[in-house]
Amino acid sequence: MILSVSRRTDIPNYYSEWFFNRIKEGFVYVRNPMNPHQVSKIDITPKVVDCIVFWTKNPEPMLGRLYELASYDYCFQFTLTGYGKDMERNVPHKKDKMIPIFRELSQKIGAKKVIWRYDPIIFTKKYTPEYHLKAFEQIATALKGYTEKCVISFVDIYTKNKKNMELLEAYELKQEELLAFAKKIAQIAKDNGMRIGSCAETIDLKECGIEHNRCIDKDHIEDIIGCSLKVEKDKNQRKECGCMESVEIGTYNTCKNGCKYCYANFSEESVIKNCHKYDPKSLILCGVLDENDKITERKVKSLKERQLSIFAP
């Protein structure tokens, strides 16, 4: 299986100690967000985990402990944007802090395993197309040689972030303006030796030099692990999402990055409440089990295709 760590919260930044404890014990409990009393026990030992995909804005807490993942293959989706504290409240300074951390991670595990995400792109009075192009170019230039691919997306409006988007007075570009913007950003990526793809976009940007991306990408993961995978598209994601199926171990309403565009937190109050429950030794992230919970063991297995040799006895 492919282990997602995590679309729902920034585990590398805030809960890496919990994650490493779970790796040591070889299993994790995950609460179903749609049915809170349904809990899955998931085997996360190397025999069933083909690759771990980490999603983060700051993997610094993991950098000194990557050796503990020696038995696993893994890669990072590293979000690094041009926004300031007004948009990403708790993300450290990009130029002084995050770009050096990105480079350090890349040097430790290789440029192939660190995907740069400049997303979501939001247009406001402050964050204009011109602002984004300048910020993107500055970051791309700084990351040249430290990543092979960049992923972009344009903000999606959900119930959870609609109010914030209205307060920011976010707006959309006309199609011809968007295509012109996309062509410029694709050229910047190309000039810095990066492929570029879009994340879950309905608009086709291929003519601009931007491919329809799969963030959890079968070809990319097969390249990392050196083995073919028998894996299908993830039916639990949006139609536009091209990701392969994975097992998610995060918990909603636990991310402390404070991003205005976040879709994974209901409210700041819910995040504070859940974070008070954090125990790095717990079997479940930011929570406890009670007598009403129904625990079932989720059936997971390796997706590696193991072809029989014609010379096998």
**Range 8-37 burial, b when 16+ CB lie within 10 A, else e:** bbbbbbbbbebbebbbeeeebbbbeeeeee
Whole-angstrom Cα distance, residue 2 to residue 165? 33
Determine the pLDDT at residue 158: 64
pLDDT tens readout for residues 52-89: 999 999 999 999 999 999 999 999 999 999 999 999 99
Whole-angstrom Cα distance, residue 57 to residue 71? 24
Contacts of 268 (CB under 8 A, 6+ apart): 258
pLDDT tens readout for residues 204-241: 788 999 988 888 889 999 999 999 999 888 777 766 67
Determine the pLDDT at residue 312: 41
Beta bridge partners of 114: 76
pLDDT tens readout for residues 131-170: 999 999 999 999 999 999 999 988 776 666 777 778 888 8
Domain boundaries, the chain: 2-297
- 0.85 exceeded by pTM: yes
Residue that has been written with the tokens 């997706």 in this structure = 303
